[in-house]
Amino acid sequence: MPDFSLSEDHQDLVDTVREFADQVVAPVSAKHDEDHTFPYDVVKQMGEMGLFGLPFPEEHGGMGGDYFALALALEELGRVDQSVAITLEAGVSLGAMPIYRFGTEEQKAEWLPMLASGQALAGFGLTEPEAGSDAGGTKTRAQLVAGDQGSQWVINGNKEFITNSGTDITKLVTVTAVTGTSEREDGTTKKEISTILVPTDTPGFTAEKAYNKVGWNASDTHPLTLKDVHVPEANLLGERGRGYANFLQILDEGRIAIAALATGAAQGCVDESVRYAKDRQAFGTNIGSFQAIQFKIARMKARAHTARLAYYDAAARMLAGKPFKTHSAIAKMVAGEAAMDNARDATQIFGGFGFINESRVARHYRDSKILEIGEGTTEVQLMLIARELGL
What secondary structure letter does DSSP report for 211?
P
CA 63 to chain centre: 20
Summary count for the chain: helices (H), strands (E): 12, 10
Catalytically annotated residues: 375
| Strand residues in 75-188 grouped as ranges (E) | 121-125, 141-145, 152-163, 170-183
Crossing angle between the packed helical segments 40-49 and 82-89, to the nearest 10 degrees: 50
CB atoms within 10 A of CB 285: 10
What share of residues in the chain are helix, strand, coil (percent, to 5)?
55, 20, 25
Closest to 304 (Cα-Cα) out of 272, 344, 334: 334
The β-bridge relationship of strands 121-125 and 170-183 is parallel
What secondary structure letter does DSSP report for 1?
-
Residue 113: exposure state from Cβ atoms within 10 A (0-12, 13-18, ≥19) = middle
Length of the chain: 391
Residue 41: exposure state from Cβ atoms within 10 A (0-12, 13-18, ≥19) = exposed
Crossing angle between the packed helical segments 291-319 and 243-279, to the nearest 10 degrees: 150
What secondary structure letter does DSSP report for 367?
H
C-alpha dihedral, 17 to 18 to 24 to 28, nearest 10°: 120
The per-residue DSSP string of 277-337 comes to HHH-EETTEEGGGSHHHHHHHHHHHHHHHHHHHHHHHHHHHHHTT---HHHHHHHHHHHHH
Count CA atoms closer than 13 A to 374's CA, side-chain side.
Answer: 26
**Rounded Cα distance, 348 and 371, in Å:** 20
What secondary structure letter does DSSP report for 21?
I
